[in-house]
Amino acid sequence: MREDARRVLTDGALRIDLSGVPEADSAALALLLDVCREAAARHQAIDIVSMPAGLRSLADLYGVTELLPTGDSTAA
């Protein structure tokens, strides 16, 4: 799945819209962090929007919220 996620990284900005994701776990958080790391290595802009409240809570719990470039403060 990580390889599939990395394939979406292109030269342009990437927007990840999680509005259709009602729930996510720590595996989803790890995947998002991996994509963010890869995008940063490629100097690619990335924006995560409509992050589910549970996923945002996990990011807060693990202390990684600041590593996730969220373009909004709205939790789904």
Q: Do the domain assignments include residue 42?
A: yes
CA distance 21 to 39: 21
Please state the pTM of the whole predicted model. Answer: 0.79
Q: Do the domain assignments include residue 45?
A: yes
Q: How many domains does the chain have?
A: 1
Instruction: Note down the domain range covering 26.
Output: 13-67
Q: What is the DSSP string of 36-76?
A: HHHHHHTT--EEEES--HHHHHHHHHHT-GGGS-BS-----
Q: Do the domain assignments include residue 73?
A: no
Q: Do the domain assignments include residue 58?
A: yes
74 pLDDT more than 60: no
pLDDT in tens, 7-58: 666 667 888 999 999 999 999 999 999 999 988 988 888 999 999 999 999 9
Q: Do the domain assignments include residue 48?
A: yes
| 8 A C-beta contact, residue 70 and residue 32 | no
Neighbours of 18 (CB within 10 A): 19
